Structure 1
Amino acid sequence: MSTSSLIATDPEGYEFPRSKLRTLQDPSKIPLVVVACGSYSPVTYLHLRMFEIAYDALRDQGVYEVLGGYFSPVSDMYSKPGLAPASHRIEMCQRAVETSSWIMVDTWEPKQSSYQRTATVLDHFHEQLNGPDSPSGGRGILLPDGSRTEIRVMLLAGGDLIQSFAVPNLWATADLNHILGKYGCVIIERTGADVHDFLLSNDSLHQHRKKVIVCKQYIHNDINSTKIRLFIRRGMSIKYLLPDRVVDYIHEHKLYLPDSK
């Protein structure tokens, strides 16, 4: 988004998560990591399903090999209504991915003291995976022949993100061109969002359309965090809308109640 961000540094004690990062099995394919930026207040089953839908779609293309996926929650400086403190959102995301063999949570963005643009966050991932300070020495991933290749980073998002691209002054054109031109985007179709129409109507999207991969939801899932928070405020059940461990955490810490922050 076009909101400015200050120069970011690694938070104290920060370590980039790599425990679930897979090794490349087919050197003829492009090694890829997908990154989902968002509030996750709270994280839901739809957020988790987005990763799995993207994984299937990318595998079917026969070009990429997905090595890992990351949740990157926004910092508290995003100042969005209903945004629980970053510490809670990080913990809920961590609980949500406990049973996943490839999805992780990166705490760099949520622990920043200023809002970080999506373009900056993707740069952070690229630097961690391919930069001079990465464990591989800035050469990406090791191939069987002893050479190395960069790990590609792509933004993972729902169709509603595409709609936001068209909102005047919400996204800086330079940021859109950076996100789409350098990294690319995996879009999960959402009910009510005509992704292909926005690909045609938005200049940046049309220019970089070959780097935008649209994934179809064969089983529609419209769970959203706003309604989850409303259910909680109204004393309604949220079971089966998010992982049980996340539900337990919300109740334990009394999140999203009328008198909570």
Structure 2
Amino acid sequence: MASRRVPLVLLACGSFNPITNQHMRLFELARDHMHSTGQYHVVGGVVSPVSDGYGKQGLVLAKHRIAMAKLALQTSDWVTVDEWESQQPDWTETVVTMRHHYGRILKQYEQSTGKDKDSNGNPPPISSPSPQLKLLCGADFLDTFEVPGLWLDEHVEEVAGRFGLVCVSRGGVQPERAVHESDTLSRHRRNIFLVREWVRNETSATEVRRALRRGLSVKYLLPDSVIEYIHQHDLYTEDSERKNKGAVLRPLTKQADVPLKSLDD
């Protein structure tokens, strides 16, 4: 029964500098795949841009990245942009962002199911399953778990075990190998969903920024509304690309027991 499927929210964390058609395409691919399992019903998607405290070279202000993401997703009826992470004064670990959103989702779920109780305060005979939250990422993200010093073991355990991941293939990356070579990921392999993208799309935000700096066309790589915003605010210039040049990423300057956030654009 469709009503017995687990409600699922997909969360994508990253720079989104800028958001591209490929970023948005990941959500569509992941939703189709999760529906095809027969176990889940995707009820929402969330784009969570990283804060300015991340310190990545060429990272434009969060207010611009948020605005571009909102423009890009105007045509989506299920993926939204959340500003919480971007508004934090410091870089926030992926697992902390996941905890925040899961708490919000559970609260909404409890409020909605509370309305379904009868006059005696009893829940309906068949209650719907509790919602889940999974991290949506490119398959190359799995490799970051094995980079020494980037993740705490318990954070990898929480992301993969408590929440789970939906990883969309990208280029020649073999996510199955990353799962096989990691004891933690292998232990939670049933909670890691690998999605094959048969229509290859190698759009890179890095390459998009390079093209913009050089005055080249990026039409059909980004929504027209985003391209217009970039030109309006004179983003992605030679000057902006020098921002944070030589700086060490904030994840690497925090305590050694703090994991690295998604390296994806």
Q: If the TM-score is normalised by the length of the shorter chain, which range does it land in?
A: 0.7 to 0.9
For the residue of structure 2 that corresponds to 1:104, the secondary structure is: strand
For the residue of structure 1 that corresponds to 2:45, the secondary structure is: strand
If each structure's helix is expressed as a fraction of its own residues, which one has the higher value? 2
CA distance in 2, matches of 1:144, 1:246: 45
What is the TM-score when the length of structure 2 is the normalising length?
Answer: 0.84
Aligned pair partner of 2:72 in 96, 102, 127: 96
CA contact (8 A) 2:4 2:128 kept: no
Q: Which structure is richer in relative contact order (CA contacts within 8 A, separation 6 or more)?
A: 2
For the residue of structure 1 that corresponds to 2:44, the secondary structure is: strand
Shift of 1:101: 1.1
For the residue of structure 2 that corresponds to 1:51, the secondary structure is: helix
For the residue of structure 2 that corresponds to 1:235, the secondary structure is: coil
CA distance in 2, matches of 1:258, 1:193: 31
Equivalent residue for 1:209? 189
Equivalent residue for 1:136? 110
Q: Which amino acid aligns with 1:216?
A: R
Shift of 1:135: 7.2
Equivalent residue for 1:253? 233
Distance 1:141 1:37, change over 3 A: farther
CA contact (8 A) 1:166 1:202 kept: yes
Equivalent residue for 2:154? 174
1:121 aligned to 2:101?
no
CA distance in 1, matches of 2:172, 2:190: 23
How many residues matched? 235
Over aligned residues, Cα RMSD in angstroms? 2.0
For the residue of structure 2 that corresponds to 1:237, the secondary structure is: coil
CA distance in 2, matches of 1:36, 1:159: 13
Q: Which amino acid aligns with 1:59?
A: H
Shift of 1:144: 6.8
Equivalent residue for 1:193? 173
Q: How does 1:49-64 map to 2 (within 5 A)?
A: 49-64=25-40
Shift of 1:141: 9.7
What is the TM-score when the length of structure 1 is the normalising length?
Answer: 0.85
Q: Which amino acid aligns with 1:118?
A: T
Equivalent residue for 1:163? 143
Equivalent residue for 2:257? none
CA contact (8 A) 1:140 1:150 kept: no
Equivalent residue for 1:26? 2
For the residue of structure 2 that corresponds to 1:97, the secondary structure is: helix
CA contact (8 A) 2:219 2:227 kept: yes
CA distance in 2, matches of 1:63, 1:38: 27
For the residue of structure 1 that corresponds to 2:4, the secondary structure is: coil
For the residue of structure 2 that corresponds to 1:98, the secondary structure is: helix
CA distance in 2, matches of 1:101, 1:137: 22
Gapped runs of 5+ residues in structure 1? 1-24
CA contact (8 A) 2:4 2:129 kept: no
Gapped runs of 5+ residues in structure 2? 117-122, 244-265
CA distance in 2, matches of 1:194, 1:258: 34
Shift of 1:145: 4.8
Shift of 1:149: 3.9
CA distance in 2, matches of 1:139, 1:182: 23
Choose 1 or 2 for highest CA Rg. Answer: 2
CA distance in 1, matches of 2:23, 2:59: 16
CA distance in 2, matches of 1:54, 1:144: 31
1:78 aligned to 2:58?
no
**Residues 62-82 of structure 1, C-alpha deviations (whole Å, 9 max, x = no match):** 100000000001111111111
Percent identity between matched residues is 38
Equivalent residue for 1:184? 164
Q: How does 1:214-253 map to 2 (within 5 A)?
A: 214-253=194-233
CA distance in 2, matches of 1:102, 1:158: 20
CA contact (8 A) 2:45 2:78 kept: yes
